[in-house]
Amino acid sequence: MPTALITGATAGIGAAFADRLAADGFSLVLVARDGKRLAEVAERLRLRHGAASEVLAADLVTEEGLEAVERRLREGVDLLVNNAGFGHPGHFLDVPAEQEVRMLRLHCEAVLRLTLAALPGMRERDRGAVINVASVAAFFTRGSYSASKAWVVSFSESVAAEMAGTRVRVMALCPGFVRTEFHERASMDTSGIPGFLWLSAENVVREAMRDLARGVRVSIPDLRYKALVRVGRLLPLTLIGQVSRRIGR
């Protein structure tokens, strides 16, 4: 039975990945800070799919948390989903430096270290995959969140190129606005986001798994966002910044 480790597994895209992979016959390692919520998710997956789930409560912005998940990955998994993340409601100059550093540690250092912990075993077995959850914000200019997600995309593409010629796949997943707890937990005002831009976590995961099977290195779920990214690449950065400020993060 294949094993998948998912960070940020208690809600949103992470929970949708857990549900999909449990239905597909994976045993799961569920990672998040809240051990109680992890246990609830594991029980729900057991009742719904008969899935075996290991829970690992860990805060990935701490050295202790990172090391705990690294150790588990070195024991061997078939799929790693680096999904944990958060955002800030304010502008760059309004956010305390320590909070920006926490974001970079979670979005960049944790993704790098966990990917590095998982890949040697996958390469040795010549099978496995890593999905690094970035954001469509990676292609636009809006503070350190966009910058950190752009790093995730570039990093994933680079590692995917290094895995060429093997059966190990690495993919950056770049969803747009998804109806999850993300914006509420970040105290973000979403009233300016047009309704047609919202996606469901389940559809994002379905497209992600399809793209992974096809060998896609950067997955942008939904035709609307694919079009937005293509148009965005043709526009001046100053105009993109203005649009980003109007719509939101």
DSSP symbol at 199: B
- Catalytic residue, candidates 17, 139, 140, 145: 145
CA 151 to chain centre: 13
Please report which helix (H) or strand (E) contains residue 151, including its range.
helix 143-162
Q: What is the pLDDT of residues 48-99, one digit of tens each?
A: 999 999 999 999 999 999 999 999 999 999 999 999 998 766 676 677 888 8
Please spell the DSSP secondary structure of 98-146, one letter per residue. Answer: HHHHHHHIIIIIHHHHHHHHHHHHHHHHT-EEEEEE--GGGGS--HHHH
Given a contact cutoff of 8 angstroms between Cβ atoms, the answer to whether 30 and 9 are in contact is: yes
Domains and their CATH numbers in the chain:
3-247 (3.40.50.720)
Is 225 one of the catalytic residues?
no
Burial class for 47, CB neighbours closer than 10 Å (0-12, 13-18, 19+): exposed
pTM summary value:
0.87
Give the DSSP H or E segment for 17.
helix 12-23
Phi, psi (rounded to 5 degrees) for 26:
-80, 145
From 28, 178, 32, 156, select the one nearest 20 (Cα to Cα).
Answer: 28
Ranges under pLDDT 70 in the chain? 88-90, 92-93, 179-196, 232-249
